[in-house]
Amino acid sequence: MTTAHEPASHAPAWVRDIAPYVPGKPIEELARELHLDPAGIVKLASNENPRGPSPKALAAIATAAADITRYPDGNGFALRSALASRLGVAPECLVLGNGSNDVLELVTQAFLTPGDEAIYAQHAFAVYPLATHARGAKGVVVPAKDHGHDLPAMLAAVTPRTRVVFVANPNNPTGTWIGATAMEAFVANVPREVVVVLDEAYDEYLAPSDRSRSISWIGRYPNLIVSRTFSKAYGLAALRVGYGVMDASVADLLNRVRQPFNVNSLAQAAAIAALGDAAYVEESARSNREGMRQIEAGLAKLGVAFVPSHGNFLLVNVGDGARVYAALLRDGVIVRPVANYGLPAFLRVTVGLPAENERFLAALGRALGSPRANA
């Protein structure tokens, strides 16, 4: 209960109105609730890499652990240098984040004031509304087309109050993806005073020929920010490290509003090592393609529809997301409900290892009462 003298009631209305982010249910939590053995629970709820981290990243963490009494390098010199040479950009064009979520937050801190507008698509990543509303800015939600971004409609939604446009490519939770030609045409048409954020958290999962070239567009479009992460294909979700690539003048602004030590030293060391382990990333992408085919084939056998995905997850139409989510939980399988994304008929399942995918498919069959569930 809130009464007038309590501080919470004096917080800005736009903060009090924020709908909290709902993360995937942790394994330990479900184990406690249902008295299950955590080892028997399968979590396919947060688009994490199911293969475990790169041994090179683990070794780098062990080495860096000896130095944790020191503050991390607030400029992230070594990681930014490694990224700069990998991406072919100047280190001044890079902003490191405590996860790429942090970079998205920094964009809103640097560019949005109360009353400004940020544009994003219906069913787009939940952090865009969160970060926008936290600044007192207005989120302009553009209806999706075939579950994906309707770029012409997003362009038409730009007004003199628009400061930022967010596009997730591929998008989470829908898995939809836009090719380079359409994407660049969109960026070219957005007025230069409006920042375009291309969130490419799943880029490494695309076929090599489809991986984004958007970083090479920044020279032409200084209002473009490309964000990437070490949380997905690089397998470092718990360490919280991501980055944005942008014009040096924009990076300078974001670096002013970020915390001086926003990326910890273990994360910096692990990210450098992970970046150097190309084989780990490629094997993760390969294993994901195989798992994706396995789940797609299983769903087809069950007669369950899904949205074709370019990420490491699949949006599955189960008819009643809440009911099937609960049934899967009782079966020890955690997936992600997406009613909060306006998709109550769907569940999002992360591609796991073959045995995990099989557990999911069998549990889904049971939850849907399919005759072949016990086959």
Ligand X SMILES: *Cc1c(COP(=O)(O)O)cnc(C)c1O
Residues binding ligand X: number (CB under 6 A): 14
Residue type, 209: S
CA 151 to CA 200: how far, in whole Å? Answer: 16
Contact 338, 347 (CB under 8 A): yes
Q: Which is nearer to ligand X, 172 or 363 (CB)?
A: 172
Strands 224-229 and 195-199: parallel
Q: How far is the CB of 341 from ligand X (least distance, A)?
A: 12
Per-residue binder mask for ligand X (CB under 6 A), 340-369, x = binder: ------------------------------
In 3D space, the residue among 349, 348, 338 whose CA is nearest the CA of residue 126 turns out to be: 338
Q: Which is nearer to ligand X, 175 or 365 (CB)?
A: 175
Site for ligand X contains 48 (CB under 6 A): no
Site for ligand X contains 47 (CB under 6 A): yes
Interface pick for ligand X out of 60, 201, 271, 307 (rule CB under 6 A): 201
Longest CA–CA span in the chain (Å) reads 62
Q: Which is nearer to ligand X, 223 or 231 (CB)?
A: 231
- Which residues have a Cβ under 8 Å from the Cβ of 25 and sit 6 or more positions away? 43, 45, 329, 334
Q: Which is nearer to ligand X, 12 or 23 (CB)?
A: 23
Site for ligand X contains 76 (CB under 6 A): no
Q: Which is nearer to ligand X, 315 or 363 (CB)?
A: 315
**Which segment (95-103, 157-165, 176-184, 362-370) binds ligand X by CB under 6 A?**
95-103
In 3D space, the residue among 285, 290, 305 whose CA is nearest the CA of residue 355 turns out to be: 290
Interface pick for ligand X out of 99, 244, 337, 352 (rule CB under 6 A): 99
**Which residue minimizes CB distance to ligand X?**
99
Q: Which is nearer to ligand X, 223 or 229 (CB)?
A: 229
Q: How far is the CB of 151 from ligand X (least distance, A)?
A: 17
**Which segment (30-38, 78-86, 226-234, 257-265) binds ligand X by CB under 6 A?**
226-234
Q: How far is CA 259 from CA 77, 102, 262, 263, in A?
A: 16, 10, 5, 9
- Residue 191's SS3 state is coil
Contact 1, 8 (CB under 8 A): no
Per-residue binder mask for ligand X (CB under 6 A), 227-246, x = binder: --x-xx----x----x----
The per-residue DSSP string of 246-315 comes to E-HHHHHHHHHHS-TT-S-HHHHHHHHHHHT-HHHHHHHHHHHHHHHHHHHHHHHHHT-EEE--SSSEEE
Residues that bind ligand X (CB under 6 A): 47, 99-101, 125, 168, 172, 199, 201, 229, 231-232, 237, 242
